[in-house]
Amino acid sequence: MPYVQLVYASKAQPEITDAEVLEILKISQSKNLTRRISGVLLYVNSTFVQLLEGPEGAVTEVFATIAADPRHRDVTLLEQRKTDEVSMPTWAMGYFSPSMTEQQRADNPTLLKLEDVRLICEALPARLGAPFLELL
Amino acid sequence: MSPVSLRLFGVDAEAPSRILLGSMFSPTCEVEVFASAEECLKRMQECLPDLLLLDTVLPGMDGFTFCAQLKADPRTARIPVIFISREDSLESRLLGYESGGEDFIFKPYAIDEVKFRVRRVMEAVQGAESIRQQMADGEELSSLLLTNMDEYAVLIQFMRQLNECVTAEAIGETVLTMLRGFRLDGAVQLRLGKEELTLSAQGRDRPLECSVLSHVRKLDRIFQFRQRSVYNFPYITILVNDMPVADPETCGRLRDHLAIAAEMADAKVQALVLQQRTQRAEGGITGLLEELQQIVLVSMTAQETSRQRGAEALRETLDQLSVSFAHLGLSEELEGEIEDMMRLRLEHLISIYDHGDDTMATLQEIGSRLQSILH
């Protein structure tokens, strides 16, 4: 089984602004694709839930970086498994904030609509999708 | 074609992929997604898309077979197909190329990249349509001309046409005409420094064709892969898709002809590259000479201005001196001594201007020589 799938949850530091979160996510998207890591990230009410999937070494390394990042707190590993096939064709994110404008969403094609995130999470293997659906 | 009117079909076995395809294109396109080739085919009985995004691994019919089937049907042959695959290998690219696909995207992909590729393929398809029309016009005439030509006649005709080529496009078209003369289908890639040009009967710079040729150019000088043969030279690569492998004798003969033709075309492209470099160098030298000519003209004007101002200053000095003598009441002997001294100084200054005349003559000569070189 050449791949690993990992789901974690964490809380964002309270002082982080929406703009900062979006910038962090934009940078991580580019880094993840370079390492051939796909997945989906959900950010609702200062809570992150993220699926990371790809080559084991790369995924473990990214998760270790996130766990050590002071902008995340209460990082909890919810699910980890080895697999022959990953579930996502890219690295996408669902980001929902009361202050987010339609323009911000239009400017960032990686941002998904709520209904699309729900459909994607329902299509994931049950144990991977459950933490996302719980948050939604 | 307005992006709003684009109808896009996506076929992907993975549900998250289908949802994402819908999500990324639904704001600007009419998107429909399917979990299998069979589902998509059923829908195509009712309506056809402008472009198809196609996963290679599907339940039932695989993506390559589906694409080949679409390309074999005149009703669907012109629908551009972009493969989306998890397997990044030369073999999968060749399978995609062989089945007639336009481009290949590998998972995990960046959403921006998928959007960019879709836009680029649509532009390439529109360009190919125009080339196809031109070729259709010439096809009847060329088939008549080539019917009675034997292989050597094709080769001689190729050499004659190659000799008349003055652009990379013309060389590429001449190679494609030769392939048609040999009843072969293929593509040619010409490399002119940083620029590349890939041509085939299907169009110009088709992404998947470029990708395949970029891979095969790293292979041996002459390379045979099933029905395909490749002829690699520094400035050109010719890819033939349908060598008559069932007839080894003809196949061997054609390979020899194609190797000769590729070598000649390579020399022609090399000559073109050198010619372009020489032209660029000549352009640079001409520019430099023109600048130099301008500098000489400016210097001559400055010299003349300086001379005129100097002469005026001398005249003013002498006039002031005469006026001063009248007021000073000097003896005639003293005035004579002062005038002698001034004369000596003026003679010295005049000799400086004489030297200035030499400089002016030199500048004029340089200016004339530059004029004759430049015109």
Chain A residues touching residue B14 (CB < 8 angstroms): 87, 89, 123
- C-alpha B180/C-alpha A59 separation (Å) is 51
Site of tokens 């949802």: B19
Assign 3-class secondary structure to A31-72.
HHHHCCCEEEEEEECCEEEEEEEEEHHHHHHHHHHHHHCCCE
In three-state secondary structure terms, A49 is strand
pLDDT tens by residue, A68-83: 988 888 999 999 999 9
Structural Rg of chain B based on CA atoms: 37
- C-alpha B375/C-alpha B363 separation (Å) is 18
| Adjacent-strand bridge partners of A55 | A3
Chain B residues touching residue A119 (CB < 8 angstroms): 15, 19
DSSP B352: H
Count of alpha carbons within 13 Å of B116, Cβ hemisphere only? 7
**Per-residue pLDDT at B250:** 87
- C-alpha B260/C-alpha B221 separation (Å) is 12
Read off the tokens for B320. 């002031």
Give the pairing type, strands B195-200 and B186-192: antiparallel
Does A54 contact B at CB distance below 8 Å? yes
Q: What is the largest CA-CA distance in chain B?
A: 128
**Per-residue pLDDT at B232:** 94
> Hey, CA dihedral for B229, B170, B207, B7, is it positive or negative?
negative
Nearest CA in chain B to A54: B108
Question: What residues of chain A score a pLDDT lower than 70?
Answer: 1, 93-100
**Per-residue pLDDT at B94:** 87
Chain A residues touching residue B109 (CB < 8 angstroms): 33, 89-90
Helix B168-181 to helix B111-146 angle (10° resolution) is 60
Site of tokens 């048609």: B180
Q: Tell me what ipTM this predicted complex has.
A: 0.87
Going residue by residue through chain B, which has 375 residues, state the pLDDT in tens, using 9 for 90 and above: 444 468 999 999 999 999 989 888 887 889 999 999 999 999 999 999 999 999 999 999 999 999 999 999 999 998 999 999 988 788 888 889 889 998 899 888 888 888 888 888 888 777 776 676 677 666 655 655 554 457 888 888 898 899 888 899 999 999 999 999 998 999 999 998 888 999 998 888 888 888 888 888 888 889 888 888 999 999 999 999 999 998 888 898 899 999 999 999 999 999 888 888 888 887 778 888 888 888 888 888 887 787 778 777 777 877 777 777 777 777 778 877 887 787 777 777 766 666 667 777 888 888 888 777 776
CB contacts under 8 A, B 102-121 vs A, are 107-112, 115
In three-state secondary structure terms, B73 is coil
Angle at the Cα of A91 (from A87 to A94), degrees rounded to 5? 100
Read off the tokens for B93. 């690219």
Determine, for residues A112 and B110 on separate chains, whether the beta-carbon distance falls below 8 Å.
Answer: no
Determine, for residues A110 and B17 on separate chains, whether the beta-carbon distance falls below 8 Å.
Answer: no
**Per-residue pLDDT at B3:** 43
Count of residues in chain B: 375
Closest chain A C-alpha to B35 CA, distance in angstroms: 13
Closest chain B C-alpha to A61 CA, distance in angstroms: 18
Residue A106, CA distances (Å) to A88, A102, A111, B8, B27 in order: 22, 6, 8, 20, 9
For residue A89, give the nearest of B17, B22, B27 by CB distance. Answer: B17
Determine, for residues B16 and A120 on separate chains, whether the beta-carbon distance falls below 8 Å.
Answer: yes
Give the pTM: 0.62
